[in-house]
Amino acid sequence: MHFLPLNGPETGSKQKQFDIVLLTGDAYVDHPSFGTAVMGRVLESAGYQVGIIAMPDWKNPLSVTAFGKPRLFFGVTSGNVDSMLSRYTAFRKVRNDDPYTPGGQGGLKPERAVIVYCNLIKSVYKDVPIVLGGIEASLRRLVHFDFWSNRLRRCILEDSRADILVYGMGERQILEIAQRLDLGMGLENIPGTVLLMKEQPEDAFLLPSEEQVMSDYESFIQFYRLFYRSFSSKILAQPAVKRHIVHYPPPKDQTSDELDKVYDLPFTRLPHPAYKKPIPAFEMIRFSITAHRGCVSGCAFCSLALHQGRKIISRSEMSILKEVEKIAENENFKGHITDIGGPSANMYGITCSKNWKCGRDSCTFPDLCPNLQIATEIWLKLLDETKNLKNIKNVTIGSGIRYDLLMREKNAGNLLKRLLKDYVSGQLKIAPEHTRPEVLKGMHKTPVYPLEEFVKEVEKTRSAIDKKVYLVPYLLSCYPGCTLANMQDMQNDIQRLFKFLPKQVQAFIPLPMTIASVIYYCGVDPLTGLKYEVEKLPQKRKQQHDVFFSPKIKKDRDKK
Ligand code: SF4
């Protein structure tokens, strides 16, 4: 592959015409945790010549011409995070930083980056196909609530004028698109994509029109419910002006073998050498390993189920150990693997005895599905194997764990002891999000084991192993249905249980296309039909959030 890291000239490429040019809003890091690197390496392994333009100057159309016109298509992404989320705080203040750029400098990518980059390409090359991918496109693939403009927005394909949108993890889709364009074929019927078409496919399930959905709450709620419950099994078609937005179901489940092959691609695991300053997002993960994809929870505020899916796809032990050995070759590596996890570290190895085929919205809400096969032993064995490798002195878990799943294991006490003793450096992250049942219900996050019991179990275990281990709870403020009184109750609960008030409190941001974004916008849960009071006024949201950040609490925290 050839890279163009900023706006300078390409570094000595003799390539006449590239097959594909990928354009990303993030700095280029050749590492499997960065989507552009994965897409580039997958395409390259299939024999395509790929150029990558990272952080183009969005005010200058020439910045997209660095590799000339690609033979097949431009692939466009905002990067690993939605550009509005990376630009603004939960209180809609401009952020000065961006962990995906050199030095963590903010403002290097435009707002609504996907649309801006597509316009830039269209202003220079009118007839090159554009393929959208990444989280910003994926979570804006149909009509959605946009927190930053406080209104519904239509499918991003329409605003960007791109030719096709890839949602989800994208490896299979991007290859199929490349192969079809190479053969001069059409792009219809590719699983995991969205297209604008003149006619709806005959076998499509018809959704209410985009115009109707955008005109009243009831239609939007109905549309969302239909979408959420059928997108993974049916072709969906939604009339939009004179066309149809056609949403194809996700590709067949990835296998562990396929995932291993992705991680086995020749990533250098480094940022482009042109960058003079460290890239914070890379520094955080440079000695950590992604062990699996997917999340069984389906929490209402999270976009993961819509993007990666509910099924857990775990890499093989051999593939992970091989990656650890590669990390150990790095001259800066001091022997510490800082994480082996995923969205929740202990979901590695989880399977479903019904082969993930059922009509439930979540494996853990409203209660734990008896078919879920929790696999903490397999995960701990993987950590043991890693620790035994040459040049590995220490393995710790940096991701949060789903403590309630661990505690539903038969030999939970013993598993917890092994985890705390061998793989926790001092802090173990958990994400109860809230302590009040009425708020948790709106989050679709009932703990399947009581938090209080878990805290007691940890206290008992740390005395037994004589090790200082602190639980760090991640919490949410301002969630739909949460009142100031609920926040004060949570503060009391947390102080009583943990004996301190954590900084890790995030003010809720309704991410596009999540269940919670519909609840925030309409005050109704589209799946359960329950109604919620939603705090939208900025000063009232701030008041809720400040329950954990009053000057006195900050002072007490600083003292400790
Ligand atoms: S059967 Fe249970 S464990 Fe399997 S996918 Fe459905 S909810 Fe999840």
pTM of this structure: 0.94
Asked whether the beta carbons of 1 and 67 are under 8 A apart, the reply is no
Alpha-carbon gap, residue 275 to 326, rounded angstroms:
22
Residue 367 C-alpha to ligand 1 middle, in angstroms?
Answer: 11
What are residue 429's DSSP bridge partners?
472
Pocket of ligand 1 (CB under 6 A): 296, 352, 354, 356, 358, 360, 363, 369, 371-372
CA of 417 to the centre of ligand 1 (A): 28
Mutation test residue for ligand 1: of 356, 357, 361, 402, the one with most atoms within 8 Å of CB = 356
DSSP one-letter code for 103: G
Say how many Å lie between the CA of residue 256 and the centre of ligand 1: 19
How far, in Å, is the centroid of ligand 1 from the Cα of 253?
15
pLDDT at 11: 45
**Cβ(455)–Cβ(497) under 8 Å?**
yes
Site to probe by mutation for ligand 1, drawn from 253, 295, 353, 354 as the one with most ligand atoms within 8 Å of Cβ, is 354
**Best residue for ligand 1 mutational test, from 233, 358, 362 (most atoms within 8 Å of Cβ):** 358
Please tell me the residue having the least CA distance from ligand 1 atom 3: 372
Nearest ligand 1 atom, CA 311: 5
- Residue 422 structure tokens: 């061998």
Choosing from 352, 357, 373, 374 the residue with most ligand 1 atoms within 8 A of its CB, the one to mutate for a pocket test is 352
Q: Which atom of ligand 1 is nearest to the CA of 373?
A: 3
Find all residues with CB under 8 Å of 266, minimum gap 6, and list them. Answer: 41
Q: Give me ligand 1 centre to Cα 369, in Å.
A: 6
Q: What is the pLDDT of residue 3?
A: 57
The 3-class secondary structure across 353-400, one letter per residue, is: CCCCCCCCCCCCCCCCCCCEECCHHHHHHHHHHHHCCCCCCEECCCCC
Measured from the CA of 310, which atom of ligand 1 is nearest?
A: 5
Query: How far, in Å, is the centroid of ligand 1 from the Cα of 357?
Result: 7
CB 293 within 8 A of CB 313: yes
Residue whose CA is closest, atom 6 of ligand 1?
358
Instruction: Tell me the average confidence (pLDDT) per consecutive run of 10 residues in the chain, 560 residues long.
Output: 43 69 96 96 95 94 93 98 96 95 96 98 96 97 97 98 96 97 97 96 96 96 96 96 95 93 95 94 95 93 86 96 95 95 92 92 94 96 96 94 95 97 94 96 93 97 94 96 96 94 94 98 97 96 92 70
Side-chain-side CA neighbours of 299 within 13 Å: the count stands at 24
What pLDDT, on the 0 to 100 scale, is given for residue 6? 35
Three-class DSSP labels, 84-100: HHHHECCCCCECCECCC
Fill in the amino acid letter for 203: D
Atom of ligand 1 nearest to the CA of 369: 2
Ligand 1, atom nearest to 296 Cα: 8
Measured between alpha carbons, how far is 421 from 234 in angstroms, rounded to an integer?
Answer: 47
Q: Tell me the pairing of strands 130-132 and 29-30.
A: unpaired
Distance set, CA 64 to CA 29, 43, 82, 158, 174 (Å): 19, 20, 20, 21, 20
Q: What pLDDT is stored for residue 5 in this prediction?
A: 42
Q: Whose CA is nearest to atom 5 of ligand 1?
A: 356
User: Are residues 337 and 328 in contact, defined by beta-carbon separation less than 8 angstroms?
Assistant: no
Buried b (16+ CB within 10 A) or exposed e, 33-54: bbbbbbbbbbbbeeebbbbbbb
Name the closest-CA residue to atom 8, ligand 1.
363
Q: What is the pLDDT of residue 306?
A: 84
pLDDT on residue 10: 46
DSSP classification of residue 253: P
Residue 97 Cα distances to 83, 84, 91, 114, 250, angstroms:
12, 13, 15, 20, 34
Cα-Cα-Cα-Cα dihedral sign, residues 204, 207, 210, 211: positive
CA 286 to chain CA centroid, Å, is: 18
Compute the radius of gyration of the chain from its Cα atoms.
23
Cα 408 to ligand 1 centroid, rounded to whole Å: 16
Report d(CA 491, CA 129) in Å as an integer.
Answer: 52
Residue 303's nearest CA partner among 228, 359, 375, 400 is 228
What pLDDT does 14 receive? 52
Whether a cis peptide bond, with omega within 30° of 0, leads into 61 is no
The CA 355 to ligand 1 mean position distance, Å, reads 8
Q: What is the pLDDT of residue 550?
A: 78
Give the distance (Å) from ligand 1 centre to CA of residue 39.
30
Spacing, Cα 305 to ligand 1 middle (Å): 13
Partners of 476 in the beta sheet? 506
First-to-last CA distance in the chain?
49
The pLDDT assigned to 552 comes to: 75
Identify the structural domains of the chain with CATH numbers, from first to last: 2-192 (3.40.50.2300), 287-559 (3.80.30.20)
Query: In this structure, are residues 291 and 348 in contact, taking their beta carbons and an 8 Å threshold?
Result: yes
How many Cα atoms sit within 13 Å of 444 on the Cβ side?
24
Using the mean position of ligand 1's atoms as its centre, give its distance from the Cα of residue 361 in Å: 9
